[in-house]
Chain A
């Protein structure tokens, strides 16, 4: 099957692996990620104020592009996912806002028809973790991996509706699907301080440390994440266990990692 794909700015620069591995792994699972043409930056952060219209237009254009392709839109980066999903939700539920946006768009009015999936949701709801399990060639047995969700994937739950925001399981199920052991720890849904890493590096350090310590106390040997911001923050703030993108592990498990290292 083919789906529309939104990589986002960071995946084309600092987080190239997240992007490459995602595409190869999806291909191995029978899903082609078709990058939408001339996609625009999602904006990085979703402004909750309902009178901020212009800042959300770029996300809407991406959503419209997927609608025109008649495909669901898949994202990998947690931040992009959060912004695009929240924008889509606003287009569905806030008529006044949608009207304003559509006046900028000038084409056929858009009202949130595009289905937005995070890559993890694609694995769980479309491919199925059982199918992933079957395709695994390198089982990562015995590896104790802690999933780090951060805040953007899960919250606000009323919009994201990905998983139980307080006790999520989607990444743990993913870890088990590729044959490793999932380490469950309470801070996995607490913020690492990502957005303020430039503004208040000390606060970011404190928050990142709390995550790392809690994961380690629970026995983690490695942390996986879906977010370049989280990865940056955790590594920068002294993670002494590896922090990697979940797509990298997926590619490794599916045996397509080598192809990617050109």
Chain B
């Protein structure tokens, strides 16, 4: 029989305001097993915890029930308290009488009655608690970073800096991500390439970092400290270790009409290509959908011109299996498709472009060598209209666009408008805005400069329709402040498209069992206090995969994620969760039902010899749970027909005792 102590917390007036705490502690005193019951203003405070420790010693308690806030809040606190008092930490149960009682009910008698019942359920459960010891598992001292944009690069560099090996998996042929496509960065107007490419070189030269470019993660198994990851290295038909990146093949390749994705299709590349001059790794890649040699065996020119002999048309996709202790997701973002917003005529005119395309048009390494020219006819545009919030801040019932603010558009549009006016003072620049949001260091000052010093026309209102006619784009918009409908004959229209998480994020989240919000952004373990950790242990978040972010924010989050990874990898052993499944071998049928539902492959079978009452022996197949792999979901316990499989901490008997206590 347990000797249980009950501790009812007032939580100031949070609980005591709606629950008669004295009545609760009095009522629970009479429950079976309870030998001590009290209440106190703040159970989680030092004084409250001391009270528990003292009670354990005075009354020889074997179990503790704390009636307080949600176990998600302070279960860990009170387990530590129990440990300090010399008890097994798993002899503690929490009755949630705040979030699920005092805060949702207004009437004191009702709240008190419910609090007593919840307390009874916790007492009933503790009566059946047994001391649990968590298992330990080793930590593989290697990290995986998925995504090689600025977020992934910074995270990898910081982890490597602490002395741990890191692998970066990037699905494109080069690392660099979106930042490599940008021209200047706000609000300081540094050249993006000038600050990014040295970091890319650092990655390439860092002995602790391996880059798997043109690769993707196809399978993740295991758990924190012990992930088994399968990486698919797509065949690039070029031997990476031999290619010198000289570019002779690129020059000679006869197939030169492939839309260049790095320039967002605004110019062409060859079938064998290096995405841009500073690519890392600087290695050529053959596009199998464009290469004549790969498609029909005719050509082979690149192999002939390659002095290094790096071309290999027979290369196959390669699967690499590697162990990691921690995984950082840095899958980034993309602008959304403009298909559902064709009132802006994006699909009807080449001169309606997205802001990312505008970046390429002004980038010295872009399709126009940095000259701002119209995609349709290569003429200099004299009137440019920027449209903000295209697809951002939409109502869900409008069924297009995103509900959130994409956060970066106000600032990059100010940058584009300012730079255009700076370089081409003869250009009229209109920015149609709903609100200008500039909450960052030096952001509002930057926006004001665009208006006051550079003479950008900021118009409060939205564009309703863009009509291509002749070589003009007829823009119809509203100017809400002067209560007019404007008609502007523009040469170029730039849409600040909303951004969304990369499409690869959703399947990756499934592999990682990391949760996502409805917009497919990864959710953090706690929105304020654990912003770079996913709720899944060992999985960390870096950059825009967690939510829209600009570069400074991304870099600081990348560093934070790295420090969390370093903290994990610095440990030699991890303490596991002891609330895991276990099978009673006497009852187990060996039927394999549990194995089939286990999401972790934690259950195996062995033939075990049993001594029978009649002194014979019998060999029977039984299930065995691997405690390091089991995560404690309990799926097996229900699949098991005989009830041999049970779960520590949430045993069938315990749950039924709770049911009984509640229904009694």
B470 close to A (CB within 8 Å) = yes
Using known A-B contacts A158-B399, A184-B348, determine if residue A217 contacts B469 with beta carbons closer than 8 Å: yes
Within the complex, the shortest CB–CB distance from B578 to chain A, in Å, comes to: 52
A217 to B468 Cα, complex, angstroms:
9
A167 close to B (CB within 8 Å) = yes
Residue of B nearest to A216 (CB): B469
B466 close to A (CB within 8 Å) = yes
B136 close to A (CB within 8 Å) = no
| B residues contacting the other copy or chain, number (CB 8 A) | 15
Contact between A217 and B465, CB atoms less than 8 A apart: no
Q: Size class of A's contact patch?
A: 10 to 19
Using known A-B contacts A184-B348, A186-B348, determine if residue A164 contacts B340 with beta carbons closer than 8 Å: yes
Contact between B342 and A166, CB atoms less than 8 A apart: yes
Contact between A186 and B347, CB atoms less than 8 A apart: no
When each residue 568-590 of chain B gets 1 if its CB lies under 8 Å from chain A and 0 otherwise, what string results?
00000000000000000000000
A173 close to B (CB within 8 Å) = no
Within the complex, the shortest CB–CB distance from B269 to chain A, in Å, comes to: 28
Q: Which of B324-355 contact A (CB under 8 A)?
A: 339-343, 345, 347-348
Within the complex, the shortest CB–CB distance from B459 to chain A, in Å, comes to: 21
Residue of A nearest to B466 (CB): A186
B638 close to A (CB within 8 Å) = no
Within the complex, the shortest CB–CB distance from B543 to chain A, in Å, comes to: 32
Contact between B342 and A213, CB atoms less than 8 A apart: no
Contact between B341 and A214, CB atoms less than 8 A apart: no
A213 to B470 Cα, complex, angstroms:
10
A155 to B467 Cα, complex, angstroms:
19
A247 close to B (CB within 8 Å) = no
B interface: dominant SS: mixed
Contact between A214 and B347, CB atoms less than 8 A apart: no
Q: Which of A106-159 contact B (CB under 8 A)?
A: 158
A166 to B341 Cα, complex, angstroms:
7
A213 to B474 Cα, complex, angstroms:
13
Q: Which of B346-390 contact A (CB under 8 A)?
A: 347-348
A218 to B339 Cα, complex, angstroms:
21
Using known A-B contacts A158-B399, A167-B348, determine if residue A186 contacts B467 with beta carbons closer than 8 Å: yes
Contacts of B468 in A (CB 8 A): 185-186
- Contact partner of A217 among B340, B348, B399, B470, CB < 8 A? B470
Contact between A167 and B465, CB atoms less than 8 A apart: no
Contact between B469 and A186, CB atoms less than 8 A apart: yes
- Contact partner of A187 among B347, B399, B467, B470, CB < 8 A? B467
A190 close to B (CB within 8 Å) = yes
Residue of B nearest to A167 (CB): B342
Contacts of A186 in B (CB 8 A): 345, 348, 465-469
Contact between A164 and B467, CB atoms less than 8 A apart: no
Q: Which of A166, A167, A185, A187 has the most CB of B within 10 A?
A: A166
Contacts of B469 in A (CB 8 A): 186, 213-214, 217-218
Contacts of A190 in B (CB 8 A): 465
Within the complex, the shortest CB–CB distance from A186 to chain B, in Å, comes to: 4
Contacts of A213 in B (CB 8 A): 469
Contact between A164 and B342, CB atoms less than 8 A apart: yes
Contacts of A185 in B (CB 8 A): 468
- Contact partner of B340 among A166, A187, A214, CB < 8 A? A166
Contacts of A214 in B (CB 8 A): 467, 469
Using known A-B contacts A158-B399, A184-B348, A186-B348, determine if residue A167 contacts B339 with beta carbons closer than 8 Å: yes
Contacts of B342 in A (CB 8 A): 164, 166-167
Q: Which of A52-79 contact B (CB under 8 A)?
A: none
Contacts of B470 in A (CB 8 A): 217
Residue of A nearest to B468 (CB): A186
A49 to B248 Cα, complex, angstroms:
69
Q: Which of B343, B345, B469 has the most CB of A within 10 A?
A: B469
When each residue 182-218 of chain A gets 1 if its CB lies under 8 Å from chain B and 0 otherwise, what string results?
0011110010000000000000000000000110011
Residue of A nearest to B469 (CB): A217
A184 to B345 Cα, complex, angstroms:
11
Contact between A166 and B343, CB atoms less than 8 A apart: yes
A182 to B468 Cα, complex, angstroms:
16
Contact between B345 and A164, CB atoms less than 8 A apart: no
A134 to B29 Cα, complex, angstroms:
87
Contacts of B348 in A (CB 8 A): 167, 184, 186
Residue of B nearest to A190 (CB): B465
Contact between A164 and B339, CB atoms less than 8 A apart: yes
A164 to B467 Cα, complex, angstroms:
17
Q: Which of A156-174 contact B (CB under 8 A)?
A: 158, 164, 166-167
Contacts of A164 in B (CB 8 A): 339-340, 342
Contacts of A166 in B (CB 8 A): 340-343
When each residue 451-469 of chain B gets 1 if its CB lies under 8 Å from chain A and 0 otherwise, what string results?
0000000000000011111
A190 to B465 Cα, complex, angstroms:
10
A185 to B339 Cα, complex, angstroms:
16
A185 to B342 Cα, complex, angstroms:
12
Within the complex, the shortest CB–CB distance from A158 to chain B, in Å, comes to: 7
A218 to B474 Cα, complex, angstroms:
14
Within the complex, the shortest CB–CB distance from B606 to chain A, in Å, comes to: 59
A33 to B179 Cα, complex, angstroms:
59
Contacts of B341 in A (CB 8 A): 166
A217 to B470 Cα, complex, angstroms:
6
A166 to B346 Cα, complex, angstroms:
10
Residue of B nearest to A166 (CB): B342
User: B residues engaging A (CB < 8 A)?
Assistant: 339-343, 345, 347-348, 399, 465-470
User: A residues engaging B (CB < 8 A)?
Assistant: 158, 164, 166-167, 184-187, 190, 213-214, 217-218
A-B contact pairs, 16 of them (CB 8 A): A158-B399, A166-B340, A166-B342, A167-B339, A167-B342, A167-B348, A184-B348, A185-B468, A186-B345, A186-B465, A186-B466, A186-B467, A186-B468, A187-B467, A213-B469, A214-B469
Query: Which 4 pairs across A and B sit closest by C-beta, in order of nearness?
Result: A166-B342, A167-B342, A186-B467, A166-B343
Given A164-B339, A213-B469, 5 further pairs, Cβ under 8 A: A186-B345, A186-B465, A186-B466, A187-B467, A214-B467
